């Protein structure tokens, strides 16, 4: 499978918007509608980057982050939180590169953030 960007959001419209942005940048994408599905996809094939919503059914974004960071195999995967959840403190989300508020970002700003995040990623 080609390297991909994983979009984790229970809102199909948000999934589509984020997938369109990542695909326009030349990335393959996969989408997960909840945190449990996201973890299954990540363990099957590590993504280049995770765009993660916080408020989801089954397993929320906080739970996904905790599990990713606890596993040595997934600890280094960059995560950008894309959420409608009020003010979130970056310090309370270990291993998160950035937090983007839904409805406030432009295609250009998110594309730049994705590109910058992947450039800063350590090579393995």
pLDDT of residue 100: 87
Structure tokens at 93: 């989300």
Structure tokens at 31: 């989408």
pLDDT of residue 19: 97
At residue 117, does pLDDT exceed 80?
yes
Say how many C-beta atoms besides its own lie within 10 A of residue 24's C-beta. Answer: 10
Contact call for residues 48 and 37 (beta carbons, < 8 A): no
At residue 21, does pLDDT exceed 90?
yes
| Topology of the domain covering 4-118 | Rossmann fold (3.40.50)
Q: Where are the domains of the chain?
A: 4-118
Q: Using one digit for the tens of pLDDT, what is the confidence trace for 54-99?
A: 999 899 999 999 999 999 999 999 999 998 877 766 666 777 888 8
| Longest CA span, the chain | 36
Q: Using one digit for the tens of pLDDT, what is the confidence trace for 28-56?
A: 999 999 999 999 999 999 999 999 999 99
Half-sphere exposure of 28 (CA within 13 A, CB side): 9
Mean pLDDT of 118-123: 69
């Amino acid at each position: 499978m080609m390297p991909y960007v994983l979009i984790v959001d229970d809102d199909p419209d948000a999934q589509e918007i984020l997938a369109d942005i990542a695909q326009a940048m030349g990335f393959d994408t996969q989408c997960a509608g909840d945190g449990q599905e996201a973890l299954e996809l990540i363990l099957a094939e590590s993504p280049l980057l995770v765009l993660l919503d916080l408020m989801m059914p089954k397993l929320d974004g906080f739970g996904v982050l905790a599990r990713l960071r606890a596993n040595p195999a997934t600890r280094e995967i960059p995560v950008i939180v894309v959420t409608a959840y009020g003010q979130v403190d970056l310090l309370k989300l270990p291993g998160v590169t950035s937090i983007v508020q839904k409805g406030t970002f432009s295609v250009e700003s998110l594309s730049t953030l994705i590109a910058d995040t992947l450039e800063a990623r350590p090579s393995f």
